[in-house]
Structure 1
């Protein structure tokens, strides 16, 4: 297919044999066709200063629900600031096999690199959570991917990594994120494997990083490209970023966050080593680590890290046992654990609060992962799934889906007492969707019982079936 790219003042016009598309700069463009032979589309973002006479780095951003436009919207401000093209598939899905997702990625990558003037050794991948994990697999299976920005996600599989094919790994994670501890481990493992890597830690939970943090990650990729001679070294760019990073360290320390300040100084040592003397960074780090504030926080953090690891092991052990034995009697123990985590989060010590939030996120992710695993089995163990849905009402009491799943399953097994109990708990939580209740799978007989309709009448008014008293 012959392609011609014409740049206008504020847009690029792509002309192909089957399409004529205006690509506006500075906005996310959705539903671009990958090629004429497959029904696949992608989203694209071109920075406002995009110029076809130059080559550009590109970041392929992955969302495992195929939400290409939304994922690029999270990244676009940082890409604009740092001068990166963005692209994202609308067809990647966690319901597909890894091999199919890799093929979808490969086709999109080929289209983008053919269509636009992409810089050699300037191809990167990224994503948040599951999308971030998937992005770490791409360099292994597709040649030419230089680096990965994994947000709130560790490396998906160390076994496929090899020192013969290293890539630049940048992790971005909140210090309240349940994956925080795992990403600290990833940093150490990758360093032993001689993979260039940095870990950027921000104040927050399992969420997309802010523009400032994503921009910092892109800056690190640009500086690494300069260090390798892939792009021309820009002294002014290096100096400006070095100064900005020192300001960031001072801001973190004065905000009583010496651990984050020390972390950033450590990363600065790796990043700026090819450009400047590290004497100033080393002295700054010594000053931070000698301070009483750092020593106290570091001592507390080390103790809490051990405690957090032990609690996670306990959660893993008991959940596995409970699933195997359908141990409904242990739901009370899990409720007690959630109460303990709330105590951590209310502790005056900030590091304990953060540990409590990480552990709460870890339990929720652990249960959700087990639900996904059991749901994919054939045949499905309905009783084990029912236990997990009940556990979800303990750890996520405002998640209406869990109650509906329990009502459906227990009605199917003629356990109407349990179904009605969870129906009332659901209605007490403020559930209002009457039509969904009366269409719930496996509840045809339950819905016509007086008890069901009495509860609907009590909390929602207007039960579908009349209650006749004799």
Structure 2
């Protein structure tokens, strides 16, 4: 194994992280460039007891917005506990699968030069679009021994590719727009006889909290081909949250979480007891039926949205106002119901519509297809009518088309709706093509 001690850059980094006396160092992550390709750079964190004479696993992150430093900072304590070198790509992003693939390969090869790798612990984790790419890469490269997909599932449903993934863990928040998708993924993987685990948490579409990520890592460590005992302690805070679900009457959610946690050896007996207790409660059956009914309604709404949305993405000049109004009204009705599960489904459905519009709006703005961007922003208004940022989107898209009148119109609507960051607009290159900074200032001062 090559020693990067031959490189001055690594020597400086190594001396910063590890002392000859073995004393604990301040936690620190660094930004580095790949030795073989300096255009590829990533955030890296070495665990406290890092030593090139010992083997360490690696956990590589793919963020949808090229913010690889975010998960690296978030999971440093887990790196210390499980002896993992963390590496987060600063180039991987949504809608750039080839870039993400090249970034992973570059980082993986670079880490082989920096550490003495435990080749049984090569984990790849992604969030949102990064989760989809991570699963695709794991199917292509058997070197990846485990995936942790945060907030999204697979790019497609090709079973032959999915079967190539060695171990698959996922995390999802209860208010994540992709919640239903990941629940369905678990059923699919179970049917395929594949090892998998889904860790739930109380959150939105985001990188999993450290406690939830810990459960996923622990399961991967136990499920790999040559598992070894781990020295970490059970996460009492995570268990407390599961008990709180039961105490608050969310019986199905508690049962669901315990059913997954049962796969981790240190929680197996506790989980089995909790599952048995929950299934014996008088209200469990009714609660589960309510949960499944809500999920079915949510799935129907999201599918209807996707079907109506596809022609717009294809560039067709179609705006089915009736369909958008019907879907928005259905979601609004769900949100007003007393059922906790129906309210959750409404929150996720709204988030699905908002994020679907947001991602593609910015993509079409980047490609200067402003007319398509306007149609997408118009659709988003049906689902989040009180969000002033949408009016700013419309103003910018019309500015791209050179339409000053409509640009001013939507800026005025944004000001009236309470947009609070007008200073950000004074240097907006797109807006300044059709109006001046003084005109923007006047719009907001008048409000």
1:459 counterpart = 2:435? no
Distance 1:22 1:128, change over 3 A: same
1:253 and 1:105 mapped to 2: Cα distance? 41
1:441 matched to which residue of 2?
430
Q: Distance in 1 between matches of 2:203 and 2:177?
A: 11
For 1:15-414, list aligned pairs within 5 A: 15-16=6-7, 20-23=11-14, 24=17, 27-94=27-94, 96=96, 98-159=97-158, 161-162=160-161, 165-225=164-224, 228=225, 230-233=226-229, 241=234, 249-272=242-265, 282=272, 284-320=274-310, 326=317, 330=321, 334=324, 337-338=327-328, 341-371=331-361, 374=364, 381-396=369-384, 402-410=390-398
Larger radius of gyration: 1
Flag the 1:365–1:461 CA change in 2: closer, same or farther, 3 A.
closer
Could you tell which deviates more after superposition, 110-119 or 251-260?
251-260
CA distance in 1, matches of 2:120, 2:435: 62
Q: What is the Cα-based RMSD across aligned positions, in Å?
A: 3.7
1:154 Cα deviation after fit: 0.9
**In structure 2, what is the Cα distance between the partners aligned to 1:249 and 1:444?**
54
* CA–CA separation in structure 2 for the residues paired with 1:419 and 1:458: 11
The alpha-carbon deviation at position 118 of structure 1 amounts to 2.0
Give the TM-score of the pair, scaled to structure 1.
0.79
- 8 Å Cα contact 1:173/1:206 also seen in 2: yes
Q: Structure 1, residues 397-447: CA drift from partner, whole Å, max 9, x if none? A: 576664344334445667655433212102222355368358653765665
Per the TM alignment, residue 186 of structure 1 is displaced from its structure 2 partner at its CA by 0.9
SS at match of 1:120: strand
Separation of aligned partners in 2, 1:45 and 1:245? 25
Q: Which runs of 5+ in 1 are unaligned?
A: 5-13, 463-470
**Would you say the 8 A contact 1:407–1:422 is kept in 2?**
yes
Gaps of 5+ in 2: 18-24
Q: CA deviation at 1:110?
A: 1.6
Residue 64 of structure 2 aligns to a residue whose secondary structure is coil
C-alpha separation in 1, matches of 2:209 and 2:9: 39
When structure 1 is superposed on structure 2, of 316-325 and 210-219 the one drifting more is: 316-325
Give the distance between the partners of 1:174 and 1:383, measured in 2 at CA. Answer: 34
- Post-superposition CA distance 1:36-81 (Å, at most 9, x none): 5533222211222334443222211112332222221122233334
TM-score norm. by structure 2 comes to 0.83
**Whole-Å separation in 2 of the counterparts to 1:47 and 1:190:** 33
- Whether the 8 Å CA contact 1:438–1:447 is kept in 2: the answer is no
Are residues 418 and 394 of structure 1, via their aligned partners in 2, closer, same or farther at CA, if it must alter by over 3 Å? farther
Aligned length: 436
Contact 1:152-1:179 at 8 Å conserved across structures? yes
* Superposition deviation, residue 177 in structure 1: 0.8
CA displacement, residues 73-106 of structure 1 (integer Å, 9 cap, x when unaligned): 122233334432211222323364x234322211
Residues 154-194 of structure 1: CA distance to partner in whole angstroms, max 9, x if unpaired?
Answer: 12233275476332111100111110000011111122223
Mapped to 2, the partners of 1:243 and 1:94 lie a distance apart of: 35
Matches of 1:321 and 1:143 in 2, distance apart? 37
Contact 2:422 2:444 in 1 (8 A): no
